[in-house]
Structure 1
Amino acid sequence: MRPTLSHWRALLCGALLACLACLSNAQELRIGLSSNPSSVDPHFVNNDAISAVVSHAYETLVALDADARLTPALATSWRAINDTTWELKLRDGVKFHDGSPLTAQDVVFSLERPATIVNSPSSFAAYTRAITGKKVVDRLTVQLMTATPAPLLPNDLTRIFIVSRKSAEKASSDDFNQAKVQAGTGPFRLVKFTPGTGVQFTRFDGYWGAKPTWSGVTLRALPAESARMSALLSGDVDLVENVQANLVSQFRQNRNLSVFTKVSSRVMFLYTDHRESSPFVTDKDGKPLERNPLKDARVRQAISRLIDRSVLADRVLDQLGVPTGNLAASGMFGFNPELKPDTVDVQGARQLLAEAGYPAGFGLTLFGPNDRYVNDKQVAQAIGQMLTRGGIVTKVQVSPMATYVGRASKKELGFGLLGWGVGGGEPSGALRGLLATPDKERGMGATNWSSYSNPQFDALLNEALDTVDDARRETLLQKATALALKKDYAIIPLYHQVSTWATRKGLTMVPRVDEFTLAQQVRAEAEDRK
């Protein structure tokens, strides 16, 4: 049972948090995660929650700062020396945890390793597929060749962690998970990984960058909201991510806690089904329909107009959502300011349904997760009620994310709620993953659960992906986004999540649009005042 507000008020009033007087001298930072990492092999699962965990021990050539802007990491610079060749200069003096120095050979090995991993549930190879050749110029210089212009290669490199060839060449994913491999360059070294429990790190004193405050970090897997909040209030952890939505305002008023928020790059949306027939779509009596209503853009537009995004953001999400008509968040590269979120128009939606041949509406099942996003179950239920009031009788079925993704990725469901972190500093990855016509060889449409395909959209996207000029590429991305979202209603954007963290008083942190919780960006306030 979900704890009531009165329960939390009592706990907040009665909880005695541990003394914080010596916080600036704390040796260990304890973080309560909202996820349960399944691996710490940096190349095994292309999953943001896992990438955030392994970012404590591993680094990329190019990084994203807290606002998703490209910044140097293990590479101090990168440049296109011609249309199909990028050259990267590596940082000198970097040591791996095994003591070996970072060289161009390690980079080449790390870029090749993802494609060799067997049984990866979500491969990182999509980020290296454009690379057709690699050249070691000298110890700290590497050139990467592509068959066609690849302006997004620096963005893709923010996803590939660099590992020591010396330690990782003969290591299995199990070796990584058992901490037998010390192949990273990050500020912390892996000590222990216990699936279902968490991850332990110790400070790497040979780190090339700013030394982290903490001598040790423990990441506890606490996916249940109540357990995570209780751990913070009892002093079992120092920081939690994804604060229970209805507790944010109370936590702000608690003198023993600090709350941090950031509008996330994660966009929440509804995927639709563009196939001739779709499972779980019926008439109002529950009988199968000869044709799929969702295949008609007017029906998809009607669905969008029936959704009150302001109600979702303000009431269902407790103001932890920002309504959107885009994929990229405001201020990000590729954001299209002309794409406003649809306003509620029930009469207009009914007219669209009538024009499409469904004046009486139809029946639909909306699927979604119940343990992945902010109030995801409640959001799905609210959308179901909104659609039903507009004539689309909607049933709602939610399940744990692991179960849900398994079915949705096989296109067994047809219509559902999903979130996507628009990473890499621009929406290109989201456009090619969610909306491009599926092409496994080119890494296109890997998560196109809508079965959407429009040659005009593909042409705009492909041109953008081949355009090195940033201004021109942004214009093409904006046009492609407008075509898919406002003309075709291929998917239906809802809102961007607002990410939340809470810490014990005396700690400060850097909130990030990618939702990563990084111990190296958590400090004691007393230390910051020095």
Structure 2
Amino acid sequence: MVEAGAPASPEGTLRIAHWLEALAMDPARATTHQAYLLMPAYDTLLDIDADFQPKPRLATGWEQPDPQTYRLTLRDDVTFQDGSKFDAQNVKLNLERDKTVAGAPNANMFEPIDSVTVESPTVAVVHMNRPYPNFLYNMSTIAGAMVSSDAIRGNIDLTSETAGSGGWIWDKTAHQEGAKHVYHANPSYWNKDAVRVENIEFQIITDDAARLNAIQSGQVDLATNIPPDQVVSLAGTNLNVLSDFTITSALEIFDRGGVKVPAFGNSDVRKAVGLLIDRQGFNQSVYGGQGDAAIGGFASPATTWYDAALDARTSNIDEARTLLSDAGYADGFSFDLPSTAVIRSRTAAIAQMLAAGGITANIIDMQSTEYTAAIRKGEVAAGYVSPTSVDIDQWWGRTVSNTGPFNPFKLNDLADLDAEYTRSASMTNPQDRKPILDKLQQAAIDRGVLFPLSQQPRVSIASSALRSTEVPVFAPEDWGPRPQYLWVQK
């Protein structure tokens, strides 16, 4: 897939079948899952390499004088699509704006930022209110996407407009809500080597089978978020499978105070839920054995944060039933488990596992775009989540911590663990941090907050005609390779 011979100037159309619509074209209001659709229009401060380490993009270099300060050196040749200039003042405007957006899905990424100092047009110094070890990593996600200064100052409605500096310009007139996004190459883009196709066309196809059929039949050149259990069926075809292990499938209990579901307020009930989890069975039924169920924690073995001690955790239905009986739920209880078309097999598997202990999970279907918002609004007592397994700080800060967006019931039950995390964040040596992060992973399970189900492959399928001048890398929490450096061979 990686080869020379890319067109000297952008040509052709890259057709992508994607699984999820974006609620807004504003980077500050898009979840990391939705953000893939915005990436052609926006540049992030940093990129990520194959080892999940930051590399330059809008920021060409960085220093960390102390655990609470990052000094970014910036490009001086970037112009936004509306003609305004990218500089340190723009970085300041973006990061300070991002902290104030109400209901922002990635609020945890901006909460530690205290202020930004403009040292010069090409140097921005970001000051934190506490140590922020994964700031650079987060700035390679949609959180690091820079919006035009003119758009920010002019209060442009970015729910239905874009204001980035990216390699392609969003065609608002061609947009069909829930169905289609179209982009055209930006002739003034600063990194011309990255723009090899003239047009990008996203087709929103929420049905897994339809998305797979689209790539098999040649309707598209790239299909994202393909069910891992379908990979075996592609053997012997001329399609290319792009995959990695960077996501943990998990079940999270948000209502640990028992507001919506009183049973979840009982720690023994939550412990019983964890004992009903059969990781091997989940991996086989949902991923066709293509996941990695041996991992009993949340961190990938490819990272420093992997804790092999958690792998020994197994299901125990008899013990779970005893705990439920002692807690007063010998006859079980029921709760609503939200689902979407894309995760239906996962929620069904969760419901089946819990049923073995007498717990009834009533699956409630909703639109994919509504799912995360429903969690943040406190409408969900427990649900399926897919946190990163390569960024332990993001795992804690967004998915588990009482200070993160997944604490809609305003609980304070993890205050002691949050304090431990904060203590670890000031340590510069990962090996010094590891015992604390091991403890946090263990505690998330023991306290009935989050239960790992399996390591989930991110799978995209590319046609044999898709080419790239660089090895395609899945950026953090994207569900397919970004369009930079890709083209379609005629």
TM bucket normalised to smaller: 0.7 to 0.9
1:455 paired to 2:455: no
Amino acid at match of 1:128: F
Residue 59 of structure 1 deviates from its aligned partner by 1.6
Amino acid at match of 1:214: V
User: Is the CA contact 2:20–2:369 (under 8 Å) kept in the aligned structure 1?
Assistant: no
Residue 293 of structure 1 deviates from its aligned partner by 3.9
Which of 472, 477, 485 is residue 514 of structure 1 equivalent to? Answer: 477
1:164 paired to 2:128: no
Work out the CA distance in 2 between the residues paired with 1:166 and 1:300. 49
1:188 paired to 2:147: no
Select the structure with the greater relative contact order (CA < 8 A; seq sep ≥ 6).
Answer: 2
Work out the CA distance in 2 between the residues paired with 1:383 and 1:151. 33
User: Is the CA contact 2:17–2:203 (under 8 Å) kept in the aligned structure 1?
Assistant: yes
Which residues of structure 1 form unaligned runs of 5+?
Answer: 1-22, 280-291, 438-443
User: Is the CA contact 1:164–1:184 (under 8 Å) kept in the aligned structure 2?
Assistant: yes
Which of 427, 430, 433 is residue 392 of structure 2 equivalent to? Answer: 427
Q: Do the aligned partners of residues 452 and 303 (structure 1) sit closer, same or farther apart at CA in structure 2, a change above 3 Å counting? A: farther
Which of 199, 206, 223 is residue 206 of structure 2 equivalent to? Answer: 223
Match of 1:103 in 2: 87
Which of 47, 50, 61 is residue 45 of structure 2 equivalent to? Answer: 61
Match of 1:382 in 2: 349
Which of 441, 444, 459 is residue 500 of structure 1 equivalent to? Answer: 459
Q: CA RMSD in A?
A: 3.0
Amino acid at match of 1:411: G
TM-score of the superposed pair, with normalisation by structure 2: 0.85
Match of 1:484 in 2: 444
User: Is the CA contact 2:335–2:361 (under 8 Å) kept in the aligned structure 1?
Assistant: yes
1:307 paired to 2:292: no
Alignment identity in percent? 23
Residue 101 of structure 1 deviates from its aligned partner by 4.3
1:367 paired to 2:351: no
User: Is the CA contact 2:115–2:127 (under 8 Å) kept in the aligned structure 1?
Assistant: yes
Residue 67 of structure 1 deviates from its aligned partner by 4.5
Which of 335, 338, 343 is residue 314 of structure 2 equivalent to? Answer: 343
Match of 1:42 in 2: 27
TM-score of the superposed pair, with normalisation by structure 1: 0.79
Which of 115, 125, 137 is residue 155 of structure 1 equivalent to? Answer: 137
Match of 1:129 in 2: 111
Residue 408 of structure 1 deviates from its aligned partner by 4.0
Larger radius of gyration: 1
Structure 1 residues 7-406: aligned runs within 5 Å: 27-43=12-28, 45-115=29-99, 117=101, 121-158=103-140, 159-174=143-158, 177-178=160-161, 183-192=163-172, 193-209=175-191, 210-245=193-228, 247-255=230-238, 257-271=239-253, 273-276=255-258, 278-279=260-261, 292-323=262-293, 324-340=295-311, 342-354=313-325, 356=327, 358=329, 360-372=330-342, 376-390=343-357, 392-400=358-366, 401-406=368-373
Match of 1:282 in 2: none
Amino acid at match of 2:220: V
Which residues of structure 2 form unaligned runs of 5+?
Answer: none
Work out the CA distance in 1 between the residues paired with 2:338 and 2:426. 35
Work out the CA distance in 2 between the residues paired with 1:273 and 1:116. 26
Q: Number of matched residues?
A: 470
Amino acid at match of 1:190: W
Q: Do the aligned partners of residues 199 and 103 (structure 1) sit closer, same or farther apart at CA in structure 2, a change above 3 Å counting? A: same
Residue 432 of structure 1 deviates from its aligned partner by 2.7
Deviation readout 1:57-100 (Å, 9 max, x if unpaired): 21222232344322222112221224543211112433333455
Q: Do the aligned partners of residues 273 and 186 (structure 1) sit closer, same or farther apart at CA in structure 2, a change above 3 Å counting? A: same
Work out the CA distance in 2 between the residues paired with 1:96 and 1:208. 10
Q: Do the aligned partners of residues 195 and 365 (structure 1) sit closer, same or farther apart at CA in structure 2, a change above 3 Å counting? A: same
